[in-house]
Every structure is written in C-alpha cells, then in structure tokens.
Amino acid sequence: MKAANRYRVLLPLQVDTREGGSFRQGDVFETDFTPDEEATNVETGLLEIVPARFKVIGEQRVAETDPGEEFETVMTLGQQQMLIDGGHIERVETPPPAPKSRSRKKKEEE
C-alpha cells in the first residue's frame, strides 16, 4: 500500500494538480505528491494535510491506539510510508472529496 494524503488549500491562490484538478482556498483534494513536494507545500503555508484515518494492524500500539483499533491524525507521506512498510498501519479509505472542486476549471472554461 502506498501512502497518500488529502490537502486543503490555505492561501488565496489557485492550485493546479498534475492530475488536472484545479482548486482554490478552502478546497480539499488528493494528489500524488512526493514527500519533498508535500513538505515544501506545507512549509510554505500553501496547503495543510487533512487528518486521515488509519487502522493499527501490527502488534504494537501506534499513536496511542491499540492493535485492531483506528485513529485519525495528520501524518506526512514519509512517516506514513515507514509505518505502512513496517506493518504497523493501513489507511482506512474514506470517500473522496466532493467532485465540485475538480470540475471548477472545466466549468470556468465553459
């Protein structure tokens, strides 16, 4: 399983993703950042990571959560991937964000 995050646009700027989406302040989207790209965008204040749900699948407690239980937290892609590769957690899939923000660019083009 590959680490993934959703992001919220914090600044009054338009964010275009390589998948073709176009998002503005307050919009939430998912895209395939590298850990470095994610770190840069978060450090500059452009984006924030949206909390995600994870399930503890290993034998050790993670984020003060017992094995078999779920928790919600903000985790960078790098941290997530190391925990996934180590057999500690798996991501609990939640419905993707509303498609309205993805189609904003198309609507404007129309």
Partner 1 sequence: MAIIVFTNALALVNSVDLSNHCSKVTTTDERAEVDVSAMGSGFVQVTKGLGNAQIDFEFLQDFAGGSVHATLSPLISSTTPVPAETRPVNSARSATNPAILLASALMFTYAGLDSQVGDAAKITATFKNAPGGTGITYPTS
List interacting residues with partner 1 (CB under 8 A). Answer: 35, 43, 57-64, 73, 75-76, 78-79, 82-83, 85-88
**CB-nearer residue toward partner 1: 19 or 66:** 66
CB of 35 to partner 1, least distance (A): 6
Between 88 and 102, name the residue whose CB sits nearer to partner 1: 88
C-alpha 57/C-alpha 87 separation (Å) is 7
CB of residue 41 vs partner 1: minimum separation in angstroms?
A: 15
Q: Which is nearer to partner 1, 15 or 89 (CB)?
A: 89
Structure tokens at 107: 């609507």
**Least Å from the CB of residue 31 to partner 1:** 18
